[in-house]
Amino acid sequence: DRFPFPDDFGRFPDGFIWGAATASYQIEGAVTAGGRGASIWDTFSHTPEKVADGHTGDVACDHYHRYAEDVRLMADLGLKAYRFSIAWPRIQPTGAGPVNPDGLDFYDRLVDELLDQGIAPYATLYHWDLPQPLEDLGGWTNRDTAFRFADYALAVHDRLGDRVRTWTTLNEPWVSAFLGYCSGVHAPGRHSPAEGFRAAHHLLLGHGLAVSALRSAGAAELALTLNLGTVLGKDEEAVARVDALLNRQFLDPALRGRYPAEVLEIAARHGGLEHIGDGDLAVIHQPIELLGVNYYCPTTVSRSPGEPANPAYPGTEDIRFEPPTGPVTAMGWPIEPAGLESLLVRLSRDYPEVGLLITENGAAFDDEVRDDRVPDPDRIHYLDGHLRAAHAAITAGVDLRGYLVWSLLDNFEWAYGYHKRFGIVYVDFTTQRRLPKDSALWYREVIKRNGLQGE
């Protein structure tokens, strides 16, 4: 095996945060309950041809009605933390104006249930379900959306801030901006590189405004979650350009108060830089306690003259995104735990002031129920390998606070609908029955032991 360790290998630091993550639109369903307004994902999933087989989040895991059962399941697995997101259109159905108390009531009940079971709530304020009325005004390409987001964040904190310690502003702004507004494979399904860069900037501005508002309101721990990937390849310029677009476009403004030169140069050629106001970077660059790391796989690139730009990465003309050569998950994503270790080590070297939390890591496989069990050895192997990589990073001195597996439940996997199962708990979408997969039972033992089994 690649990781030959002695029997006592793999104990994690005391207090290591073991948990699981979900997102509102992917699990809640109940899209009109309690006065919820429409989000861009309702519109997008109900538009023909956008999501595989016309799947929508209308019902999803029906978590809105089954949250108490789901929290009991988390307690049975021994989770110490649960990362969920709040659906903005439940709180402000039009994205602005007075709060909808019924919407806040749902999260209030969820948080109380979690605390009753001794599970720490980790709230994410934006995991992609923008209120549709804000999209009608331009969505994240409209600077005003950043200010609306900070208002909303404050309203949620007002209600839950006495019980929720850790607040994450955004989940994966790269995905929101470049899959939503540039490649168009996510809501709202627009196809404009210029809009991608504008959206990215306004998302970052919304992050900064929300952090300073929540800080003044007394929030204990503030975070930003990014989808970060190790970029591999022999051509240094190609690697640096893709790393700038994917990783440093968000890391550097939030943690250093500046954009990478490559990003400014590419954005200048795709719509210009007029949307970046004087003083914006100072607003974006707010101290935060935690950087949430979502890691699934590395990206390998090479130089390839004549190659058109990748639709999600404007400015990558002449760069080829290499297809994986080794083992892959059901998403076709390569399985490469070493990429997580090098990413964590690099983040801790380049951004030493911020603590790290793995807010997502996991894999989709073609799971099946057999004799009332779901054997998923590939997922166990994936998680085990990535936890070994995380442990190696800690040993190398990285300040890694915890690990939240993606995902607690099989759920609505965006443009792939219900076909891709990321859960450690199997969901039968006809009966809504939950069945912990073998990986969930394995994870329970990892948590109990605060570490991995030796070889």
Mark the binding-site residues for substrate, compressed into ranges: 26, 127, 171, 296, 406, 413-414
> Contact, 37 vs 133, CB < 8 A?
yes
Residue 326 CA, chain-centre distance (Å), reads 25
Q: Residues touching ligand PNW: how many (CB under 6 A)? A: 11
Coil/strand/helix, residue 427: strand
Find all residues with CB under 8 Å of 349, minimum gap 6, and list them: none
- My answer on whether omega of the bond before 337 falls inside 30° of 0, hence cis, is no
Distances (CA, A) of 450 to 8, 11, 268, 440, 444: 11, 6, 48, 15, 10
Annotated binding site: 26, 127, 171, 296, 406, 413-414
Instruction: Count Cα atoms within 13 angstroms, Cβ side, for 409.
Output: 30
Q: Residue 190 and residue 203: Cα distance in Å, rounded?
A: 16
Question: Using the rule CB under 6 A, is 329 a contact of ligand PNW?
Answer: no
User: Nearer to ligand PNW by C-beta: 43 or 450?
Assistant: 43
State the CB neighbour count (10 A cutoff) for residue 372.
Answer: 6
> Contact, 343 vs 394, CB < 8 A?
no
User: Nearer to ligand PNW by C-beta: 43 or 117?
Assistant: 43
- Name the amino acid, one letter, at 69: E
Distances (CA, A) of 407 to 127, 167, 413: 14, 19, 10
The reply to whether 113 belongs to the active site is no
Candidates 135, 195, 262, 360; catalytic one: 360
Phi and psi for 143 in degrees, rounded to 5? -55, -35
The reply to whether 360 belongs to the active site is yes
- Least distance CB 280 / ligand PNW (angstroms): 25
Listed ranges 150-158, 162-170, 171-179, 313-321: which one lies at the site for ligand PNW (CB under 6 A): 171-179
Chain positions 221 to 240 lying near ligand PNW, rule: CB under 6 A, are: 227
Question: Using the rule CB under 6 A, is 85 a contact of ligand PNW?
Answer: no
Chain positions 352 to 391 lying near ligand PNW, rule: CB under 6 A, are: 360
Question: Using the rule CB under 6 A, is 310 a contact of ligand PNW?
Answer: no
- Least distance CB 41 / ligand PNW (angstroms): 11
User: Nearer to ligand PNW by C-beta: 12 or 365?
Assistant: 365
Coil/strand/helix, residue 145: helix
- Least distance CB 186 / ligand PNW (angstroms): 8
> Contact, 432 vs 62, CB < 8 A?
yes
Single out the residue of 111, 123, 160, 175 in contact with ligand PNW (rule: CB under 6 A). 175
Question: Using the rule CB under 6 A, is 294 a contact of ligand PNW?
Answer: yes
Candidates 28, 113, 135, 172; catalytic one: 172
Q: Residue 201 and residue 280: Cα distance in Å, rounded?
A: 9
Closest Cα to residue 413, out of 426, 422, 404? 422
Question: Using the rule CB under 6 A, is 172 a contact of ligand PNW?
Answer: yes
> Contact, 354 vs 291, CB < 8 A?
yes
Phi and psi for 178 in degrees, rounded to 5? -90, -30
Residue 223 β-bridge partners: 168, 290
User: Nearer to ligand PNW by C-beta: 142 or 227?
Assistant: 227
- Least distance CB 201 / ligand PNW (angstroms): 19
- Least distance CB 9 / ligand PNW (angstroms): 29
User: Nearer to ligand PNW by C-beta: 5 or 416?
Assistant: 416
Single out the residue of 39, 141, 171, 316 in contact with ligand PNW (rule: CB under 6 A). 171
| The pairing of beta strand 319-321 with beta strand 299-303 | antiparallel
Residue nearest ligand PNW, Cβ-based: 227
Q: Residue 8 and residue 449: Cα distance in Å, rounded?
A: 11
User: Nearer to ligand PNW by C-beta: 42 or 413?
Assistant: 413
- Least distance CB 116 / ligand PNW (angstroms): 27
> Contact, 210 vs 125, CB < 8 A?
yes
- Least distance CB 52 / ligand PNW (angstroms): 13
Listed ranges 35-43, 167-175, 216-224, 382-390: which one lies at the site for ligand PNW (CB under 6 A): 167-175
User: Nearer to ligand PNW by C-beta: 233 or 451?
Assistant: 233
Closest Cα to residue 337, out of 364, 356, 354, 362? 362
- Least distance CB 371 / ligand PNW (angstroms): 28
In the 8-state DSSP scheme, what is residue 58?
S
Question: Using the rule CB under 6 A, is 169 a contact of ligand PNW?
Answer: no
Single out the residue of 413, 423, 427, 440 in contact with ligand PNW (rule: CB under 6 A). 413
Note the residues at the interface with ligand PNW (CB under 6 A): 23, 26, 171-172, 175, 227, 294, 360, 406, 413, 422
Residues classed as catalytic: 172, 360
